[in-house]
Structure 1
Amino acid sequence: MQHCLTLTIARHSRLLLRNKFASVHYKQSAAMSGLLINDKKYSWLKELGLSEDNPGVYNGSWGGSGEVVTSYCPANNEPIARVTQATMAEYEETVQKTREAWKIWADIPAPKRGEIVRQIGDALRKKINVLGSLVSLEMGKIYVEGVGEVQEYVDVCDYAVGLSRMIGGPILPSERPGHALIEQWNPVGLVGIITAFNFPVAVYGWNNAIALTCGNVCLWKGAPTTPLTSVAVTKIVAEVLEKNNLPGAICSMTCGGADIGTAMAKDERVDLLSFTGSTHVGKLVAMMVQERFGRKLLELGGNNAIIVFEDADLNLVVPSAVFASVGTAGQRCTTTRRLMLHESLHDTVVERIVK
């Protein structure tokens, strides 16, 4: 897991700008005749089960009757396809179905749960190139990084499969004769997962694979700017669950905006909330979850520096600093924001980086 899960405050600001631009561009593009999904060049999108209009709710069945949003390619600002988001009523229905599915999933032995996660990893492997292409098209990172992001989900599935046979608990001595104390770990229940646009597959995968193996069910709200990726990934996971005659609500999804995210943060039925995003929004989420004494997992912004000493190898420093700054177009929490240079190297390093 080479990349962290988060956005910095600066990147969150750029995301807000991107959203505002998309809102304006939506009006400009309203009269456009076509979507990229109908272009022969992008016919591969249909291999992921996508169409012009896509349901943004999954809880064992597909639906969505909320706001219709158009996903745009950030490289050319062309519309890709549309997704219908969840209403609050659909969110409520999804939470109820997900909680019911947990009663089934938690009773399945951990190694059997690991087998399902293994199948999810294999299903992702089969679609890794086309799904990586979607990440590149919708999020904006280069193709190689898009494929690499899906690979990270696959890798964590592999890790989780091993974990499914190693969830243990110590046997402790008791002060009572002829007795022993046995410690057993149990799942928490429903894990809500709110992810950011910069890693629309990997962040969900890291949370999902581990949560499933531990006996939890998941409710996912992806970023509003990458809804097609959320739908495509959910379709892959749902197919695995359906083939194994398991409730699809084990891995539910509700596309939406801040209203859905706020509902998840305040909902006492969400036993643990994993949030990935800016420090500013993370503080708000933390307060809402804490208000109900809930569990939370926050992956927030970074402010990272590379420190270069006098004896540093500049052949390593320069390309490392450049990639650390511009990889994923600078849209990740591990992005380098500061260089701390020894004064004797300052001019040389700056000159080489500029070059």
Structure 2
Amino acid sequence: MLSSSSSSSADQYQRFLIDQAYIGGQWRPAVSGSRFDVLNPATSEVIGQAAECSIEDAQAAVAAAKDAFPSWSTTTAKERAQLLQRLYKLQLDNAESLARLITAEMGKPLREARGEIGYGASFLEWFAEEARRINGSILQSPWKDKQLSYRKEACGVAGIITPWNFPNAMITRKLGAALAAGCTVVINPAEDTPYSALALAALAEEAHFPPGVINVVPTSRQKTPEIGNFICDTPDISVITFTGSTEVGKLLLKRGANTVKRIVMELGGDAPFIVFDSADVQRAVEGSIVAKFRNAGQTCVCANRIFVQEGIHDQFVAALAAKMSSELVIGNGMDEKTTVGPLINDRAVEKVKSHVEDALSKGAKLVQGGKKLTAKNNCYFYEPTLITGATKEMIIAKEETFGPVAAIFKFKTEEEVLRHANNCRRGLAGYFYSRDYAQIERVARKLEVGMIGINDGLLSTCEAPFGGVKESGLGREGSHFGVDEFLHVKYVCLGGLQF
């Protein structure tokens, strides 16, 4: 079903369509004066332009962050917490405008965009609280005349490189932790979604963050590699935090090694979603809708391979097909009825199309969907698709589809499905459904991922550590671990004491 487009209330986000960079507390055009178009993927229309920053702009941003670091890192934790609380409240005060901004520049349905703004705000609140929990410790000394201790100190300037699929929350999760730790930041947002990053800078300015603490340098796809290389190469950046593809993450890791940077990465996933015969089938179907079709399947924790045990396979497929038909409404995200928006661009559509065609050519059966929608003003839409008979030889079993395609793999035994689920170099998230407690314990221990949803398809929250194993990343975001990624531990040995 295709819902109608709506342009009502567009003025609510217009003030955030900022065509400048934010450097050293000032709004300024790119040094070159160049700008690039930002498109609405639901209509392919230009919604505005953003500054096309280059290395010169990035250098200015890093210099501003470096200059601001000494004073920012020595503010009290209470001061940093209060500023983060202000930013948190401003985000909530502007929630509807920020949500509509997300929908305009990346397409997700308004109900999901509103959820992202709340989710993103939760990280600002959480890390405002965590700022005051950064502590050191007095250690038990083996010497009577020496006192041993350690303290935690901010690393320095943090480079934040973020993706387009969660243009607000992927920044706040990193930004909140870095600022709480006492780091200053340079943000390089995805070229498809620069406005959400610039909107955060505008709110930070309203919250009275000191100049240079937060800097934003947007750029086009053509200029992105040179900005990324500069962030890796400059010794003035101490830590890089990146969310994106495994391929780009490896490049950053290699290049960042030249200056021995700390690098925190949340990379690609290929999440298994396992439904055992012992599962509550209806609950599993509901969970698969969330885990597979949220954000049109464009999430790093998206269920990519759905394994269903043979005893309930047909029942599950029939129930999922019915649920997809009744609940998934394709359309412009500005329409309140829409539940599945567009993919981000034409390359994303072609990737999904190629995965489906490959699966069907290798014996998979198309249950529903399977087509790119080519009608006027919806060139980046792909139908929610359900295929059965998926096998390990298909591309869909080896790569993230990052689109609204549910591929069902039938399996017989627990040992078999664990072997297939773990036969992957990525290990971000995994899901499984079972009402057998012994099985739950076994599978939770053996599934090679950083995060597991058991009988639930939605696992992300600011209180929990977010990250993967194998080639899905390094470090953890969120939770109390998130701040540690931006802190050094300094050991202090004080000698010559007399008691």
Q: For the superposition of Structure 1 and Structure 2, which TM-score range results when normalised by the shorter chain?
A: 0.7 to 0.9
Letter in 2 for 1:173: Q
Q: Which runs of 4+ in 1 moved over 3 A?
A: none
Q: Does structure 2 retain, via aligned residues, the 8 Å contact 1:135–1:200?
A: yes
Is residue 305 from structure 1 mapped to residue 264 from structure 2 by the alignment? no
Structure 1 residue corresponding to 2:205, chosen from 233, 238, 248: 238
Over the matched positions of the two proteins, sequence identity in percent amounts to: 25
Q: Distance in 1 between matches of 2:164 and 2:144?
A: 57
Q: Distance in 2 between matches of 1:320 and 1:87?
A: 43
Is residue 78 from structure 1 mapped to residue 45 from structure 2 by the alignment? yes
Is residue 56 from structure 1 mapped to residue 21 from structure 2 by the alignment? yes
Q: Distance in 2 between matches of 1:169 and 1:180?
A: 14
Map of 2:112 onto structure 1: 145
Aligned pairs for 1:206-245 (under 5 A) are 206-241=173-208
Q: Distance in 1 between matches of 2:9 and 2:292?
A: 31
Question: How far did residue 297 of structure 1 move?
Answer: 0.4
Structure 1 residue corresponding to 2:12, chosen from 28, 40, 44: 44
Structure 1 residue corresponding to 2:90, chosen from 123, 145, 167: 123
Q: Does structure 2 retain, via aligned residues, the 8 Å contact 1:217–1:250?
A: yes
Q: Which SS does the other structure have where 2:86 is aligned? A: helix
Letter in 1 for 2:40: C
Between 1:229-238 and 1:300-309, the stretch displaced more is: 229-238
Q: Does structure 1 retain, via aligned residues, the 8 Å contact 2:10–2:100?
A: no
Map of 1:191 onto structure 2: 158
Question: How far did residue 237 of structure 1 move?
Answer: 1.1
Question: How far did residue 139 of structure 1 move?
Answer: 1.0
Structure 1 residue corresponding to 2:251, chosen from 284, 296, 299: 284
TM-score of the superposed pair, with normalisation by structure 1: 0.84
Question: How far did residue 146 of structure 1 move?
Answer: 1.1
Letter in 2 for 1:206: R
CA deviation string 1:211-253 (max 9, x = no partner): 11111001100000111222112111122125xxx22x10011
Q: Distance in 2 between matches of 1:156 and 1:231?
A: 18
Is residue 252 from structure 1 mapped to residue 215 from structure 2 by the alignment? yes
Q: Distance in 1 between matches of 2:91 and 2:179?
A: 16
Letter in 2 for 1:42: A
Map of 2:122 onto structure 1: 155
Q: Does structure 2 retain, via aligned residues, the 8 Å contact 1:171–1:181?
A: yes
CA RMSD in angstroms, aligned pairs only: 1.6
CA deviation string 1:150-171 (max 9, x = no partner): 2122211221122122111121
Question: How far did residue 41 of structure 1 move?
Answer: 4.8
Q: Does structure 2 retain, via aligned residues, the 8 Å contact 1:57–1:255?
A: no
CA deviation string 1:187-219 (max 9, x = no partner): 001010000000111011011111111110011
Structure 2 residue corresponding to 1:100, chosen from 61, 64, 67: 67
Q: Which SS does the other structure have where 1:185 is aligned? A: strand
Structure 2 residue corresponding to 1:344, chosen from 311, 315, 325: 311
CA deviation string 1:101-155 (max 9, x = no partner): 0011011111211111111111111111110111111111111211221212221
Q: Distance in 1 between matches of 2:88 and 2:41?
A: 28
Q: Distance in 2 between matches of 1:175 and 1:218?
A: 40
Q: Which SS does the other structure have where 2:208 is aligned? A: helix
Q: Which SS does the other structure have where 2:155 is aligned? A: coil
- The structure whose Rg is larger is 2
Q: Distance in 2 between matches of 1:88 and 1:57?
A: 15
- The one of the two structures with greater contact order (alpha-carbon pairs below 8 A, sep at least 6) is 1
Gaps of at least 5 residues in structure 1 are 1-38
Map of 1:327 onto structure 2: 294
Q: Which SS does the other structure have where 1:231 is aligned? A: helix
Q: Distance in 2 between matches of 1:133 and 1:127?
A: 10
Q: Does structure 1 retain, via aligned residues, the 8 Å contact 2:274–2:307?
A: yes
Q: Does structure 2 retain, via aligned residues, the 8 Å contact 1:70–1:81?
A: yes
Q: Does structure 1 retain, via aligned residues, the 8 Å contact 2:81–2:129?
A: yes
Q: Does structure 1 retain, via aligned residues, the 8 Å contact 2:54–2:226?
A: no
Question: How far did residue 47 of structure 1 move?
Answer: 4.0
Q: Distance in 1 between matches of 2:205 and 2:145?
A: 48
Q: Distance in 2 between matches of 1:182 and 1:152?
A: 37
Corresponding pairs, count = 310
Q: Distance in 1 between matches of 2:195 and 2:296?
A: 20
Is residue 261 from structure 1 mapped to residue 240 from structure 2 by the alignment? no
Question: How far did residue 302 of structure 1 move?
Answer: 0.5
Q: Which SS does the other structure have where 1:236 is aligned? A: helix
Question: How far did residue 178 of structure 1 move?
Answer: 4.7
Question: How far did residue 40 of structure 1 move?
Answer: 7.4
Q: Distance in 1 between matches of 2:163 and 2:143?
A: 51
Map of 1:314 onto structure 2: 281
TM-score of the superposed pair, with normalisation by structure 2: 0.60
Map of 1:5 onto structure 2: none
Is residue 89 from structure 1 mapped to residue 56 from structure 2 by the alignment? yes
Question: 1:335 and 1:218, CA in 2 relative to 1: closer, same or farther beyond 3 A?
Answer: same
Question: How far did residue 81 of structure 1 move?
Answer: 0.7
Gaps of at least 5 residues in structure 2 are 1-6, 323-499
Q: Distance in 2 between matches of 1:118 and 1:57?
A: 21
Q: Distance in 1 between matches of 2:131 and 2:10?
A: 38
